Amino acid sequence: MAIFRKIHISFWNDSFLGELTPEQKYFYMYLITNPNTTICGIYELPKRKMAFETGYNTETITKLLDFFVEENKIKYNAKNNEIFITNWLKYNGTKNPKVTKLIQNEIKLIKTKGFIKDFIDISIQYGYSIYSVSERYGVEIEVEEEIEVEEEIEVEVEIEVEVEEEKKKEIYKEQRLEIIDYLNTQTNKNYKISSAKTKSFINARLNEGFTVDDFKKVIDIKNNEWKDKEDMKMYIRPETLFGTKFESYLNQNTAPASNNGFYNDLIENKEGVIE
């Protein structure tokens, strides 16, 4: 049996739609007609699949989702990859018993309990009492208790993540200080730990799993190699030592090396994580 998703002609006359960019119109049309849509307007759809089906990258997908969430056109739960089209019932509501039965089955599969409550509230807006909604869709009113528990758990997780991030920042700060102090001591320089560029290079390597001892080893290797060479000693600096060639410096033979080809290999980059 073929499956269709109907779009009311008033969709194109909507003042909100008229303000959208072509990209936003296309994505909104995709949200209400893609193969994962359900009769109740709540469905699971990972960003990876959205990107594959629309041709957008995940960064663009995230921005578009955020836009329509802010405009209250959808609700999105990133943990469950679930989308709720908030005005779905406005254009797709029905009292057909067969359709109601299908909705009952769909609701049982919804992972985000808050979406079930939102679905009930919207159903009531369209003229159903809370009791008739419960009877029609087989939704227990006690779901509100589950929602509160779920929200408490999500808040606890968010707090734990924030605490871990703060711990990580403090650890990185201490490690950066030790690394820069060592660099300055070995080279008689005065690089600042507060430099955003220096922080970005060090953080990038720490995020990749390198240790403070690895940084010290690279400093020792390149300082010994370049300190007596007039054309090379200028490169004993954070952006060179801690850039994308860091791992190759770390694993290079410590015997004195020629600088032939250095200028072809040297990579000046701007990567990293800046607090």
- How do 42-44 and 74-77 pair as beta strands? unpaired
Cα 126–Cα 128–Cα 111 angle in degrees, nearest 5: 85
Mean of pLDDT over the chain:
78
**Residue 129 banded pLDDT, cuts 50, 70, 90:** very low
Torsion, Cα 73 78 79 80, to 10 degrees, reads 50
User: Which of 1, 167, 11, 176 has the alpha carbon at shortest distance from 88?
Assistant: 11
> Where residue 215 falls among pLDDT bands split at 50, 70, 90?
very high
CA atoms within 13 A on the CB side of 88: 24
* Span 37-95, pLDDT tens digits: 888 889 999 999 999 999 999 999 999 999 999 999 999 999 999 999 988 877 666 66
Work out the number of other CB atoms within 10 angstroms of the CB of residue 218: 24
Going from N- to C-terminal start, the domains of the chain cover 9-141, 157-265
- CB 267, CB 241: distance < 8 Å: no
Kindly report, residue by residue over 170-204, the tens digit of the pLDDT.
Answer: 888 889 999 999 999 999 988 887 788 888 899 88
Percent of the chain with pLDDT over 70: 72
Cβ-in-10-Å burial (0-12, 13-18, 19+) of 180 comes to buried
